[in-house]
Structure 1
Amino acid sequence: MGLPLLWSNMLLPRSALGIRGRTAANVAFATVYGAAFGARPNWCSRRGLRWGAAAGTVVVAGYGAALAIPPLRRRLAGFAGRAPEVPLAEWAAVHIPLGTVYCEELIFRGTLDPLLDAAFGGSGKWFAAAAFGLWHVHPARSAGDSVPATVAATAAGGLILSWLRRRTVSATAPALLHLALNVGGSLAPLAARAQRRTLDQPHDFAGG
């Protein structure tokens, strides 16, 4: 449990790598970590794919509903200023799937969850959730977010993702849900801002 936290909160931040370097380093760390500790992600699980696709669809529908409801759309638009260091297409197609989803799901759901289940039984999920929350301490500080709130929210999210892994015996289902949440979280605020600008533009109703 300590190795991922040391990596995320101390070693990687001190590496002074750019975003592309951090993504490559994260992928390398997760792959080596999984190999060293006998990861069992079971990526090719059909059950995991079905559950993950269903969960991802619910998330996408939720973002769509938020964009359709004015108060929620305005709230989403407020997050549009958090632009990544790279083009949005690269961020959504490379850095989220590889630097975030692949790494975190392989480390936490594919490796730590089975190990903690074997060591602690049903109580293992609480340790896994705590570790997942603490993994986000430095990212929260870098973004200027509340560290306690971020840790609590991501730990709660970790419980859901771990439940999916246990339900499907695969990291594919939580990975697809994680992907939908993060990609949607990057694209929905921009869509909300664009939609808000369109609605705020004056319209010329003159004419025959």
Structure 2
Amino acid sequence: MHARPPGRGRALAFAAPLVLVLGAWNNLVVTRLPGHPASYVPANVTATVLLLVAARAVGLSWRDLGVDRRRLPAGLRWGGVPSAVVAAGCAAGLAIPALRPLFADARLAGADGGEVAYQVLVRIPLGTVLWEEVAFRGVLLAALARIVPPPAATGTAAVVFGFWHVRPTLSAVAANDLVEGPVLRGLAVVLGCAVTAAAGVLFAWLRVRSGSLLAPVLLHLATNTLGTLAAAAAHRLD
């Protein structure tokens, strides 16, 4: 038997606390878990499984969540093309010496091959992309779509996704010594979160247009893993 799709009230009762949990998770929770940073991947994988179980329990179908197997070919097409564009952009940027500093990230300056491999094969795919796509373009977007019109659902999920990146943006700004002073640092964080919110809109559009979570997963994975590889390569080439 299939669970009954959630009505507006039930979806709201599910989505409202989920927004609060997601708002806190990446900024306040995961970095404070025992064993961090080693606990990052297992904690996020566990959270992914639990969230999917909760979503199914309230009546969201696999199709609602973007994981209908029949939509995989469409997801592959819609996610594969922009991923190829990202790959071409990274390759072109590394090939032009004047553009290589744009990829540089001090957090990867001293990383050896094993650390880079862990980032692109484990931490990013499982700890970041899987969790974020299931949470934002899968569960949250599906729940919000039961409450508000699609544009509002996309916008709300994107804003939460942007807020999710406050701590990571602060870390990136500090590690790379991009700006000085609290005002400029604050502006850099606002800009970084706005950019990730815009990315959230793009990812949601791919999810809805393709009918598959695979589309944003592929683009998100390409952006993060190829960006990491490009950053590591930029330091070595210079």
Residue number in structure 2 paired with 1:147: 189
Residue number in structure 1 paired with 2:37: 19
Q: Name the amino acid aligned to 2:200.
A: G
Preserved contact between residue 161 and residue 196 of structure 2 (Cα < 8 Å): yes
- Whole-angstrom CA distance in 2 between matches of 1:135 and 1:75: 24
1:54 maps to 2:96? no
The offset of 1:166, in angstroms, is 0.6
- Whole-angstrom CA distance in 2 between matches of 1:185 and 1:178: 10
1:34 maps to 2:52? yes
The offset of 1:11, in angstroms, is 1.9
Note the aligned Cα RMSD (angstroms).
1.9
- Whole-angstrom CA distance in 1 between matches of 2:101 and 2:21: 40
1:91 maps to 2:119? yes
Tell which deviates more after alignment, 125-134 or 84-93.
Answer: 84-93
**What TM-score results when the alignment is normalised by the length of structure 2?**
0.75
Preserved contact between residue 31 and residue 106 of structure 1 (Cα < 8 Å): no
- Whole-angstrom CA distance in 1 between matches of 2:232 and 2:210: 33
Tell which deviates more after alignment, 140-149 or 58-67.
Answer: 140-149
The offset of 1:16, in angstroms, is 4.1
Deviations 1:16-36 (A, max 9, x none): 432231111011112211221
1:176 maps to 2:204? no
Residue number in structure 1 paired with 2:234: 192
Deviations 1:176-204 (A, max 9, x none): 000000001111122223333xxxxxxxx
- Whole-angstrom CA distance in 1 between matches of 2:68 and 2:227: 24
- Whole-angstrom CA distance in 2 between matches of 1:13 and 1:68: 36
The offset of 1:43, in angstroms, is 6.3
- Whole-angstrom CA distance in 2 between matches of 1:36 and 1:75: 41
Deviations 1:103-161 (A, max 9, x none): 00000011111111221112111101001001111222333353212211110110110
Residue number in structure 2 paired with 1:206: none
Unaligned runs of 5+ in 2: 1-18, 175-187
Residue number in structure 2 paired with 1:10: 28
Unaligned runs of 5+ in 1: 197-208
Q: Name the amino acid aligned to 1:98.
A: L
Identity of aligned residues (%): 38
Q: Name the amino acid aligned to 2:107.
A: R
Task: Name segments (4+ residues, structure 1) moved above 4 Å.
Answer: none
- Whole-angstrom CA distance in 2 between matches of 1:43 and 1:188: 33
- Whole-angstrom CA distance in 2 between matches of 1:106 and 1:59: 22
Q: Name the amino acid aligned to 2:88.
A: A
**What TM-score results when the alignment is normalised by the length of structure 1?**
0.86
